[in-house]
Structure 1
Amino acid sequence: MPIPEDVTGEEIDKDVRQELQSLPKTLADDVAKNLVMVARLIDEDPEGAYGYSRVALRLASRVAAVREAAGFAAYANQKYSEALAEFRAARRMTGSVDLWPVMADCERGLGRPEKALDMAGAPEVHKLDKAGQVEMRLVAAGARRDMEQLDAAIVTLQSPELASNSVQPWTARLRYAYADALLAAGRDGEAREWFAKAVEADKDGSTDASDRLAEMDGVEFVDALVEVEDQDEQRDVQKDAPEGDGDSLPVEDVEPRDLTTAVDEDVVVVEESDTPEDVADSADVEEGKDSADAEDAEDAEDSEGDVGREADKD
């Protein structure tokens, strides 16, 4: 798989770098670069991270850090059986119990919550540091919920770490899990209180506690970007609409049209029932009347002329 040019392999942890020193330098550099890509992609692109982990595993399967990285990549892709096998291999190589909680969670993923609870009560848990013990408590509570033992899950999470006011790396996740368990048990008021406490501790947004709290409060978020796009679209529609004379009104607001129409200096009143043909006929009648009057005047003048000529003869 391609490695970006900005990846040098020096970005990995010093402890991992020391483990890779058992390999030839060129091989160690290649493995290191693939491990960097696993760490870079595991949250946003789990499938891509898994691909790089398989390359690293093919190059150096006897390095514990490589087996651990492969386990986390498989875990991120919900390949729990494969992840559990890699974690077990890494634990055999190092003898460390640090992976015990995530191994127990793999058992949950495989549909074996009872096995996870057994691991939660094993002696290895006492060898974990505080963060590991809190993680193990979270896994045990999850196993209880898998078994529909909601009250037991709530009790499992109740601990000095939960009651503490100090904020640790695990505090937000612990409070969130407790709030979620309370909500599942129908204790909405307490759940809201603990979601609010989770928000206070969640400085890096590792949970969606703020969204859950808003949902409980009936707050609906509007995507500002979508709203702006809708406004722009409306403006475009108005811009493309045909332009009127600037004085036009909506159809329902237009006043009835005046049915009085001027013809020259005379005014012809048109009834609503009149058709255009009726109006034309009326105009023709008026015009014919005017023509007849003109002809009568001419005839009168001719008659007067004839009388005058007869008088001259006499």
Structure 2
Amino acid sequence: MMVARLLDEDPEAAYGYSRVALRLASRVAAVREAAGFAAYANQKYAEALAEFRAARRMTGSVELWPVMADCERGLGRPEKALDMAGAPEVHKLDKAGQVEMRLVAAGARRDMGQLDAAIVTLQSPELASNSVQPWTARLRYAYADALLAAGREQEAREWFAKAVESDRDGSTDASDRLAELDGVEFMDALDEGESESDGQRPAAEDGDED
């Protein structure tokens, strides 16, 4: 419970709790999975992969397949991630899992310098759909980012805008990326106030004026 509660706001603390849980109940699949996500959040990819594999052996579920493939990317093995993207396990994933696998595969292509292949990988019915699903914003964002990396700025702007439209919970920084492309600069209100204050002439002290 503490791992789940702290994972987003304090990954290091979540990792600490996961190590305690492992010492107490290492044969519980949910504990191994939680430990995997805590390690993953702290970029301990080898450890995360080992925990995810253990959880999968205990449950027989393929649910963790995409994040396991992303661990391979984190370990500098994008080719292995691509192999996993083409494995039979992918067909057993639900729609959300298949979209996640597509995102991982596109990331692996980018790791290998294959930008055009990454763009093609992300082109899918889910990307083209007007229906907004939990994965829509991240999928559109990844597509926009790949387009931008390939120098296709106008198309990237269009897809960042679409990502903003579908990002209902602020899971991406698509609005910032869109503003950046539009040349919009944000100024911190506090900094602006300090600058104005610095530019004001100090009040004259008694005896300074004629």
Q: Structure 2 length as normaliser, TM-score?
A: 0.95
Equivalent position SS for 1:238: coil
Q: Give the deviation of 1:238 after TM superposition.
A: 2.6
Q: Give the deviation of 1:230 after TM superposition.
A: 4.2
Q: Which residue number corresponds to residue 118 of structure 1? A: 83
1:72 aligns with 2:37: yes
1:62 aligns with 2:43: no
Q: Which residue number corresponds to residue 93 of structure 2? A: 128
Q: Give the deviation of 1:244 after TM superposition.
A: 5.0
The amino acid across from 1:82 in the alignment is E
| Pairs within 5 Å for 1:1-314 | 36-231=1-196, 238-239=202-203, 241-243=204-206
Q: Give the deviation of 1:42 after TM superposition.
A: 1.4
Tell me which stretches of 4 or more aligned residues in structure 1 moved more than 2 Å: 225-235, 243-246
**1:254-278 deviation per Cα after TM superposition (whole angstroms, max 9, x unaligned):** xxxxxxxxxxxxxxxxxxxxxxxxx
The amino acid across from 2:97 in the alignment is G
Q: Which residue number corresponds to residue 32 of structure 1? A: none
Q: Which residue number corresponds to residue 16 of structure 1? A: none
Q: How many aligned residue pairs are there?
A: 210
In 2, distance between residues paired with 1:198 and 1:206?
Answer: 10
Equivalent position SS for 1:96: coil
Equivalent position SS for 2:202: helix
CA RMSD of aligned residues (A): 1.6
Equivalent position SS for 1:203: coil
**1:82-139 deviation per Cα after TM superposition (whole angstroms, max 9, x unaligned):** 0000000000111110000000000000011010000000010011000000000000
Distance 1:218-1:243 versus aligned 2 partners, 3 A rule = farther
Q: Give the deviation of 1:231 after TM superposition.
A: 4.3
The amino acid across from 1:217 in the alignment is D
In 2, distance between residues paired with 1:134 and 1:244?
Answer: 75
In 2, distance between residues paired with 1:242 and 1:39?
Answer: 60
Distance 1:233-1:105 versus aligned 2 partners, 3 A rule = same
Equivalent position SS for 1:204: coil
The amino acid across from 1:88 in the alignment is R
In 2, distance between residues paired with 1:231 and 1:41?
Answer: 40
Q: Which residue number corresponds to residue 296 of structure 1? A: none
Higher Rg of the two aligned structures? 1
In 2, distance between residues paired with 1:207 and 1:144?
Answer: 21
Equivalent position SS for 2:130: coil
In 2, distance between residues paired with 1:217 and 1:243?
Answer: 51
Q: Give the deviation of 1:37 after TM superposition.
A: 1.9
- The percentage of counterpart residues that share the same residue type is 87
The amino acid across from 2:152 in the alignment is R
Distance 1:154-1:234 versus aligned 2 partners, 3 A rule = same
Equivalent position SS for 1:90: helix
Q: Give the deviation of 1:232 after TM superposition.
A: 5.3
Q: Structure 1 length as normaliser, TM-score?
A: 0.64
In 2, distance between residues paired with 1:80 and 1:245?
Answer: 67
The amino acid across from 1:71 in the alignment is G
